[in-house]
Amino acid sequence: MTDKYVIDSSTIIDLFRWYPPDMKIFKPIWDKIEQIAKGGVLVSHYEVHREIERKSDMAGEWCKDHRDIFFDLDEEQITILDEVREKYDEDYWNRKVTQPNPWADPWLITLAIQLRRRGEMLGMNTEVKIVTQENKNKRNNIPAIAKKFGIESLKLLEFFRDIGIK
């Protein structure tokens, strides 16, 4: 089985806020994150990069240094996005897509679906999980929408356990 973790802006920001890489105690966490990022197991969407790059802080610098984990938009994602859009409340969707700032949420879900489908096409059992700090009980948040596609969402501590950080 191949695992993929699609990481959200909220998680990247909280990683730097609560587990700063310059503190020795958090070195095992950052070593593991670097390992899975380099191994193609930790990925994200370019829209997440756009959300974070607006601030010049450690999270923004990390995103710039790890540009290769951020998938660019492609035709397949645009097609899948229509399926994702149908799962959102229409008023909520319309409010979010007309705001001036980037909105990565539907693109993260789209990427997770795309990665799982690509694995299935190759005959691989690819388990794709989204790592987000968003509330799992709000109907228009990433976890609720992703669940409609059979994709699990993990909070940061759940993610640590899942990747073997103890």
pTM for this prediction: 0.94
Confidence tier at 1 by pLDDT (50, 70, 90): very low
For residues 5 and 163, the answer to whether their CB atoms sit within 8 Å is yes
How do residues 2-17 score in pLDDT, each as one tens digit? 589 999 999 999 999 9
Torsion 54-56-59-60 (CA) sign: positive
Q: What residue spans define the domains of the chain? A: 2-162
Per-residue b or e along 85-98, where b marks 16 or more CB atoms closer than 10 Å to that residue's CB: eebbeeeebeeeee
Angle between helices 105-121 and 75-85 (to 10 degrees): 120
- DSSP class per residue in 65-79: HTGGGEEPP-HHHHH
119-152 pLDDT, tens digit each: 888 877 789 999 999 999 999 999 999 999 999 9
Topology of domain 2-162, CATH: Rossmann fold (3.40.50)
